[in-house]
Amino acid sequence: MEEKINEVLDKLRPFLINDGGNVEFVKYEDGICTLHFTGACLNCSLNSFTLNEGIKEALINEIPEIIDVNLI
């Protein structure tokens, strides 16, 4: 599962890195994927939008086993 998640994240990372940030996979458990923003994404006022409208949507659409995505 970690490999599948990272494959999806790898498609999105260039956009985050371009703005000085990134996202890291932390864990997958019981349908919940946990991620951690780094760099500029960590304190960005739009990080909830990036998570919900970009990353979460992509992960749920591409990996049916994922039912939610959380940040730590």
pLDDT on residue 39: 94
Q: How far is CA 42 from the centre of its chain?
A: 12
pLDDT on residue 52: 87
pLDDT on residue 15: 92
Measure CA of the first residue to CA of the last residue in the chain; give whole Å: 19
pLDDT on residue 67: 97
Token pair recorded at residue 35 = 């991620």
pLDDT on residue 61: 96
Q: Count other C-beta atoms under 10 Å from residue 15's C-beta.
A: 11
At 8-66, the pLDDT tens digits run 999 999 999 999 999 999 999 999 999 999 999 988 888 888 888 899 999 999 999 99
Domains within the chain, CATH numbers bracketed:
2-71 (3.30.300.130)
Amino acid residing at 36: H
Structure-token match 């790898």, residue found: 10
